[in-house]
Structure 1
Amino acid sequence: MMLNDIKPAIGAKKRKKRVGCGESSGHGKTSGKGHKGQKARSGGSIRIGFEGGQMPLIRRIPKRGFNNKRFHIQYAPVNLSSIEGITEEIIDENLLRKLGLVKGRVDGIKILGKGEISRAYVFKVHAVSTSAKEKIEKVGGKIELIQ
């Protein structure tokens, strides 16, 4: 078998539908949009869930239950492997943001135990995993949890 003999599977390559290319093409004149009406217009489409002015189903159904998601604390995870090369003694949120390890809006920072560290650091963070805590304390580091 040679490279020039290779062909795609049957049905794998489909030609693009060319609309508005003459009446005999089968997609000419109205370009498959039918005659007049909202769907034939440019930009004419209705939003998802719109039922022609009738009260939408999502608003008709009673809402029940409680969702705890809005009270969920979202931590920015930082692994020990990414901290290994840092020369600073104190690791806090400002330093991690400056180094680009934490981005965006988060409620706190959590140190995770993937990787190893060889230096003793002082961590001022919101949460630490059990494996990370063991590794930090093994090399003589300290953890100061922020509330």
Structure 2
Amino acid sequence: LPKRGFKSANLKFNDEVTLADLEVLGAAEVDLLLLKQAGLIRAIAKNVKVVKTGELTKAIKLNGIGATAAAKAAIEAAGGTLA
């Protein structure tokens, strides 16, 4: 029999945002609700992660949002923080 992979049912609640999206958004503090209102993530998203695609020049504070190691370094280099 052919082997079949497993796909978690919780994947539909995960979403990603790029540094370029955060740069265009232009907010000093970013949280899940703000990203949903801006249309950058789906309405059912519960877990959001920032990925390093693009550049960030403004200091941004992330509340309740994760980031990859490279994105975290870029955010902190621009003067931002992760909470």
Please classify the TM superposition score into its range, dividing by the shorter chain length: 0.7 to 0.9
Say whether the 8 Å CA contact 2:17–2:48 is kept in structure 1.
Answer: yes
Percent identity over the alignment is 23
| Structure 2 counterpart of 1:122, from 26, 50, 61 | 61
Q: What are the superposed Cα offsets for residues 79-132 of structure 1, whole Å, 9 maximum, x if unpaired? A: 001111223210111111111101131231111111111000001133211110
Count of aligned pairs: 78
For residue 69 of structure 1, what is the aligned residue in structure 2? 8
Structure with greater contact order relative to length (CA < 8 Å, sep ≥ 6): 2
Higher helix share: 2
Against the structure 1 CA distance between its residues 71 and 101, is the aligned structure 2 distance closer, same or farther, given a 3 Å change threshold?
closer
Matched, 1:137 2:79: no
Counterpart-to-counterpart distance in 2, 1:87 and 1:100? 14
TM (norm. structure 2) is 0.79
Cα contact 1:110–1:125 (8 A) shared by 2 = no
1:96 to 2:35 alignment: yes
Look up the equivalent residue of 1:81 and give its one-letter code: A
More strand per residue: 2
CA RMSD of aligned residues (A): 2.0
Q: Determine which structure has more spread, i.e. the larger CA radius of gyration.
A: 1
Identify unmatched segments of 5+ residues in structure 2.
1-5
TM-score by length of 1: 0.47
